[in-house]
Each structure stands twice: as C-alpha cells, then as structure tokens.
Amino acid sequence: MSSSSTTTSSTTTIITSTTTTTFQTGVQYGFFYDASRCNGCHACAVACKSWLEIPAGPQKPARLQEWETGSFPNVQLHFVFTTCFHCANPICVPAANGAMMKEPKYGVVLMDPSLATTQSMRDAAAACPYGAITFDSDADGATAVKCNMCVDRLEQGLKPVCVMTCPMRALDFDTMANLEAKYGTLQTIEGLPDPSETNPSVVFKPTDTPKQFVPYNPSEALPLLANRGNLPPLFDPSTVTTLSTDIVGRNHLVLKPAGVSDPTDTSIHDEG
C-alpha cells in the first residue's frame, strides 16, 4: 500500500492511503468500529477535523467518546467512536425541515451548508440520538457541522480519512452488506441507543472482558511505588485510601452534552 502526506491549512499532517477502491452506488455504506482494538488515541477525530478544515473547538463530526468506571485498582477506561451513522431511518431529516437529506448514491445523510446556522439544524441535532450534529457555540445562529462520510473522497475512490488514519485498524468502511458479512450485525454497544429507532449504518465489536494479568496487592505495590532509593519516599503508603468512583472525569457515556464546554469540562482528552 502506498501512502502520502497531506497537509491542510492547519499544522496537522495526515497520512492517508492513496490506494483507490471502486465503490458501488445505490447501496448503503457504513462504518465498523472494533472497541477491542481501539486505544483511545483520538487520531480519527483529529484527522476528521483536519480534513474538513474545522478549527480547534467544539465542532466535532467524529468523536472518540470516553468514560471511566470503577475505582483503583479495578478501573476501566471505556471508548466508543461516534459520528453520524447515516441511518437508514434518519429521523434528523424530517426534523431538519429541508436542511438535511439522504442522498441515494452511498446513503450519506447530508446537511445543506447554507442552512448550517438555522434553527432547523438545532431541531435536527435534538432529534439525533447520537449527538452527531455539533455546533461552534451555544448561541443562536451557531454553525452546525456533521460527518459527510467523506463523500468527496468516496468520489475519488478513497475511504474516509478517519478510517484510514486509525493506527489500530479499529475502524473499517464498506457497504453495510459487506460489513455485516465480515463482522456481524451488532448495531449498538455499551451505552449507545437502541438501534431500532434509526437503523444506524454501523457494525460494532465490543471490547473484551478486562483481564488482570498481575494480581494487585497494595501492601507490596505501594511501597514499591513510593520507593525512590536514597531519596525520601514519594508518599506514605499508609495514607493511600480507596478512591470514590465520583472523582473520575466522566463516569458514564454522554452523547449529547449540555453545552459546547461540557466535554472539555469533564474530560482532559477532549480539548479540540
């Protein structure tokens, strides 16, 4: 596979494959996300913003959602990739009152950019159960963005940039028929809505059950962590207590934050 560096007007550089694919037309395309491979690097979300030349800030056509559960030492960091899933039953479209449509070639749900600042897009965002439509502010007249399935790349025989950027190959893109034949038919994953409402064009693979490879023994581990050789101990192991579960950044999946600052307020990894 050959590759090239594509530099946008921002400073971010994306490595994208130049291998082309002949896409079918008149069929529904969609995404595959493998939570068991995803390491939460956010490269997909950053590459999407860079490709679409969206400035740093709350407009995020693709998001790597993350939340934490449990308390030390039994903690788990959860990830799920979300974007517009170009639903077969896109309830955003009637809500958008003409500002959105589902095109027939690849099954992309598109927004009319000239209507991005209208109340119609607020109504569409309210209807979407995935939080797939985001804005640059909470003010009236804010500008909406959403995933367009990289339709400009599809027209050139290139897969979406989020998929091609993923270093863990946790993402894939194909017709829904091919994705389902390859990966199964699971259309939801921990925390996501019931797919029967919109029939999203996505297949998920859940993460594996976490395994503890080395049993954690606080009486042995804490002195080792505190030890700095000839220097004083880093901390007093006897002062270490069990953490409460409510001090994590976010302890549940939030697909539709209350406002544009909410993701940055509650996660150190969602700043751009």
For ligand SF4, the closer of residues 43 and 248 by Cβ is: 43
Shortest Cβ distance from residue 2 to ligand SF4 (Å)?
A: 20
Of 21-29, 161-169, 213-221, 262-270, the segment contacting ligand SF4 by CB under 6 A is 161-169
Contact pattern for ligand SF4 over residues 105 through 144, marking x by CB under 6 A: ----x------------------x-x-xx-----------
91 lines the binding site for ligand SF4 (CB under 6 A): yes
Question: CA-to-CA distance for 222 and 58, rounded, in angstroms?
Answer: 40
For ligand SF4, the closer of residues 10 and 245 by Cβ is: 10
For ligand SF4, the closer of residues 147 and 176 by Cβ is: 147
170 lines the binding site for ligand SF4 (CB under 6 A): yes
Of 22-30, 88-96, 207-215, 219-227, the segment contacting ligand SF4 by CB under 6 A is 88-96
